[in-house]
Amino acid sequence: MNTHPWTRVWPMQLAISLALAALAPMQAAAQAASTPMEQDGDAVPSDADLANTSCTSGEERFLPGDYYYCLGTQTYGAHRYQSAQRFFTTAASWASKPAQYVLGTMALNGDQQPVNRPLGLAWLALASERSNADYKRAYDSAYNSATTEERRAADALLATMRPVYGDATAAVRAEKRYAQGMAELTRLSNSGASYCMQDDRAITREAPGPSGCPTAKAVIQAVDTAAVNVFDGWVGHVQVGPLEQAGAPAKKGG
């Protein structure tokens, strides 16, 4: 079992289940997802725990950063390290700060790859670019222990990485994907439709059938809550919030 610091993982499947049952526990679960597992008393998950992570295929339509981070976690636990690296990098390109943090710690520690301190510094700088960053302590510690040459090399890498992974590009792109998906879900919810998250093609305007798909409203609430894993601390994100039943249109001249 590897021992590098992992963030807590709360898969989308769990979020949807909780949304169907009660939303309050899901709020706490999603909020915990962006906290590094370096706190006193937190247990580092085993490889089996990571491999057993359940990822919801339909989440890519709304939150690809969270979805690919989940796949990275799952494949890392299964010792498929090249796949994990690829999934984490894809998640990082969709503004996943947990993915950027994991990539940074892996490069710094030589976890399943050669030690690359400048690359680790660059990833940690990206992970901690938001004002409320939970990862800044890790970046500050790595930066303070780095040599002048390592800092210069990290700066050079950042110059090429920011246009792809920095919030100015990645978060804006992720927010656009999120907004498009949520607009479609909201339209379905307004008609009382269900939505099957596991199959991207399963969008229906009909009442839930034998498959037991959740309502679009429940999926909206789950996705909106899970969005904290990608957008927490980014000022450009707008949450949908609780949905309310629209009232009857006002009569003209009334």
How far from chain centre, in Å, is Cα 193?
A: 26
Q: pLDDT tens digit string along 236-246? A: 777 655 444 44
The pTM (predicted TM-score) of the whole model is: 0.77
Please state, in angstroms and rounded to a whole number, the distance separating the CA atoms of residues 96 and 164.
12
Please state, in angstroms and rounded to a whole number, the distance separating the CA atoms of residues 36 and 100.
12
Of the chain, the percentage scoring pLDDT greater than 70 comes to 71
pLDDT of residue 32 exceeding 50, the answer is no
